[in-house]
Amino acid sequence: MKEILDEDPEFLDLMLFTDETKLHLVENSVGGNVHVRCRKEERLNPDNVNGSVKYGGGGILLWGCMGHYNLGVLHRFSENMTGENYSREILNDALSTSISSMGLEIDDVLI
């Protein structure tokens, strides 16, 4: 990769970097326990108790991309992530929308 960039610095203009992330709607929905040290008679004090949501409270899955000069669209998945959904929502829809919004041609971009 370094050799390619040394030969042609404009090569970077054609690269897209993509990533996805899950954001949880409730703070401790990932299953992490929080321990509070307190006296026995203070255990149920509201300052020492964190609320919880059954089944984790949900979250949203986001996908985005960026190029050398521009950002692509931020895409929120409408369903659970499967290979079929990823292919349909990202590769067919969000990626092509992002590329065209950046003023690039799909045949010129390296992903």
Do 16 and 66 meet the contact criterion of CB atoms below 8 Å apart?
yes
Q: Which pLDDT value is given to residue 28?
A: 53
Element (H, E) at 60: strand 59-66
Amino acid identity of residue 77, one-letter, is F
Span 12-51, pLDDT tens digits: 777 888 898 888 766 654 556 677 788 888 888 888 777 6
Asked, for residue 50, whether it belongs to a domain, the answer is: no
Query: Is 39 a domain residue?
Result: no
Residue 13 lies in a domain: yes
Strands of the sheet containing 59-66, edge to edge, are 17-24, 59-66, 75-76
What's the domain count of the chain?
1
Average pLDDT (49-74) is 80
Domain extent at residue 83? 2-30+57-108
24 falls within a domain: yes
pLDDT of residue 29: 47
Does the global pTM surpass 0.75? no
81 occurs within a structural domain:
yes
- Does the residue 48 lie in any domain? no
Q: Considering the chain, what percentage of its residues have pLDDT values greater than 90?
A: 5
Tokens 């045949």 correspond to what residue? 107
